Structure 1
Amino acid sequence: MIGLVGIVVVFVMVFGGYTLAGGKFGIILNALPFELMMILGAATGAFLIGNDASVVKRTARDLPRLFRGARWKPQDYRDLLCLLFQLIRVSRQDPVAAEEHIENPKESAIFARYPRIRADREAVALIADTMRAASMNYDDPHQVEEVLEKRMEAATHDALRPSEALQTVADGLPALGIVAAVLGVIKTMSSIDQPPEILGKLIGGALVGTFLGVFLAYGFVGPFAARLRTVVEEDAHFYQLIREVLVANLHNHATNLCIEVGRQNAPEHFRPSFAELEDSLNALKAEAA
């Protein structure tokens, strides 16, 4: 919702200020279709040239996230900590039973309690692979942590490619606006014998191209790219929490301490309170008793 408010504010402030200053929309409206065709068409073509099909598809798929925000919500962070608590507890009490949950999450009663997490392949794979490392008695948990860190860096880098592609478009839009403006000047020069009032309209129409390039770059596409990057980075915290908890488990810390490490490393606006999480864990313990 706040993104839509921002779009409205941009339009109202820019064009409202132009109107209050005595500006007329006639020249802008006459030039707008052709300038948009040149600028947006060239930007789209450049976007297709600079990216492969997978990035193009993912960019189109990720655009709604600009308004929806991060995928993982506070409830998901609490559910994740509860899921990891149950898995760690089972793995320490009965490693064979834990292996059944890890190897077949779709049939796992523990994973079934948290369908949003179970539906995410990366989260499930990260949990399963790390807990397999624990079952293999790795002598150096730091080595596992390093492997996980590199894995998540690669995943985050790949997830950021749509936002980087949008930022590249934003960087090029002002120059494409100049291209459209230059073409407008060329058109004006072919009518140099016309009276000043006609030349003024032609020059004004040419300058619309420069305006649109800068306006679209810094008013919309650039902020869209920055917002998408923020959303991706926020979602990455979810997977980092998995790493923190399971690496603490590899160090053989107490189960509750492993979960507290994860809670403390959750972003503040997603972090469940200590009392809230404690109540959820106590409920799980009561069910298992």
Structure 2
Amino acid sequence: MIAIVGVVVVFVMVFGGYLAAGGKLGIILTSLPFEMTMIMGAAVGAFLLSNDGATVKHTLKDIKKVFKGVKWKPEDYSDLLCLLFELIRMAKSDPLAVETHIENPAESSIFGAYPKIQGDSEAVELICDTLRSASMNYDDPHQVEEVLDKRMEAHLHAALHSSHALQNMADGLPALGIVAAVLGVIKTMAAIDQPPEVLGKMIGGALVGTFLGVFLAYGFVGPFAAKMKAVAEEDAHFYQLIREVLVANLHHHSPSICIEVGRQNVPGHQRPAFDDLEEALKGSKSA
């Protein structure tokens, strides 16, 4: 919702201010289809040229994040801590029993109690792979930590790829606007024998290209890329939480201490209160 409000504010402030200052929309509306075709057409072409098919699909999919926001909500962090608590407690009391859950999470009653988490392959694989590593009796937990750190880095890098691609597009839009404006000036110079009122409209139309390039870059495409990056980084905290809890488990802390370590590492605006989490742990969904 806030993204839609932002779009409306950009349009109202820019064009409202222009009209309030006595500007006329006629010349902009007349030139808009041609200038937009040149600028956005070239921008899209350059985007396709500089990215592979997977990145293009990923970027189109991630644009929805600008309006939907982060995937993981405060209640999801609480659910994740409850899920991890159950798995760690079972792993300590009955290692053989927990293997049935981590080897087949799709059929697990524990994972099934948290369908949103169960439906996220990255979260499920991260949990299962790390618990499986713990069952191999690693002599040095830091080995698992290093593997997890590299995995977190790779996952975040992949998640940010679409925002970087869109930001590159935003960086090129002002220059493409200048290209469109120069073409408009060339067209004007070819009609230099026309009266001043005609030349004035043609020059005004050419300048619309510069305006559109800058307006689209800093008013829309750039902010879209920034929001996509912010959402990806915020969602990455969810997977980082899995790392913190399971690493604490590798150091042989009690399940309660592991969960508290995880709770403390949840971003402040998403962090469940201590008492609320205690209640959730006592009445977990799979109980």
TM over 0.5: yes
CA distance in 2: counterparts of 1:222 and 1:2, whole angstroms: 16
* 2:149 equivalent to 1:149: yes
* Aligned equivalent of 2:186: 186
CA distance in 1: counterparts of 2:79 and 2:150, whole angstroms: 25
- Counting only pairs closer than 5 Å after superposition, residues 258-273 of structure 1 correspond to structure 2 as 258-273=258-273
Task: Render the CA deviation track for 1:68-92: whole Å, top value 9, x for unaligned.
Answer: 1010111110000000000000000
* Aligned equivalent of 2:132: 132
* Aligned equivalent of 1:253: 253
Shift of 1:283: 1.9
- CA RMSD in angstroms comes to 1.1
* 2:118 equivalent to 1:122: no
* Aligned equivalent of 2:241: 241
CA distance in 1: counterparts of 2:142 and 2:286, whole angstroms: 34
CA distance in 1: counterparts of 2:162 and 2:255, whole angstroms: 38
Q: How many residues align?
A: 287
* Aligned equivalent of 1:275: 275
Q: Is the 8 A contact 2:74 2:270 kept in 1?
A: yes
* 2:18 equivalent to 1:38: no
- Counting only pairs closer than 5 Å after superposition, residues 149-188 of structure 1 correspond to structure 2 as 149-188=149-188
CA distance in 1: counterparts of 2:238 and 2:272, whole angstroms: 13
Q: Which amino acid aligns with 1:178?
A: I
Give unmatched runs, 5+ long, in structure 1: none
CA distance in 2: counterparts of 1:123 and 1:158, whole angstroms: 15
* Aligned equivalent of 2:81: 81
CA distance in 1: counterparts of 2:84 and 2:99, whole angstroms: 14
Shift of 1:279: 0.4
* Aligned equivalent of 1:72: 72
Shift of 1:284: 3.8
* Aligned equivalent of 1:53: 53
* Aligned equivalent of 2:211: 211
Q: Is the 8 A contact 2:83 2:111 kept in 1?
A: yes
Measured at CA, do residues 238 and 285 of structure 1 come closer, stay the same or move farther in structure 2, by a change above 3 Å? closer
CA distance in 1: counterparts of 2:8 and 2:210, whole angstroms: 22
Shift of 1:285: 11
The SS at the match of 2:268 is coil
- Counting only pairs closer than 5 Å after superposition, residues 89-128 of structure 1 correspond to structure 2 as 89-128=89-128
CA distance in 2: counterparts of 1:285 and 1:58, whole angstroms: 33
CA distance in 2: counterparts of 1:207 and 1:143, whole angstroms: 59
CA distance in 2: counterparts of 1:27 and 1:228, whole angstroms: 34
Give unmatched runs, 5+ long, in structure 2: none
User: What is the TM-score with the length of structure 1 in the denominator?
Assistant: 0.98
Shift of 1:254: 1.1
* Aligned equivalent of 2:12: 12
CA distance in 1: counterparts of 2:16 and 2:286, whole angstroms: 62
Task: Render the CA deviation track for 1:84-116: whole Å, top value 9, x for unaligned.
Answer: 000000000000001111001011111110011
Task: Render the CA deviation track for 1:108-143: whole Å, top value 9, x for unaligned.
Answer: 111110011011111010001100111111111111
Q: Which amino acid aligns with 2:120?
A: D
Task: Render the CA deviation track for 1:22-55: whole Å, top value 9, x for unaligned.
Answer: 1111111110000000000000000000000000
The SS at the match of 1:45 is helix
Structure 1 stretches of 4+ with a deviation exceeding 4 A read: none
CA distance in 2: counterparts of 1:286 and 1:197, whole angstroms: 77
CA distance in 2: counterparts of 1:286 and 1:201, whole angstroms: 71
Task: Render the CA deviation track for 1:211-267: whole Å, top value 9, x for unaligned.
Answer: 000000000000000000000001100000000000000000111000000011011
Measured at CA, do residues 230 and 286 of structure 1 come closer, stay the same or move farther in structure 2, by a change above 3 Å? closer
Q: Which amino acid aligns with 2:250?
A: L
CA distance in 1: counterparts of 2:120 and 2:281, whole angstroms: 23
The SS at the match of 1:160 is helix
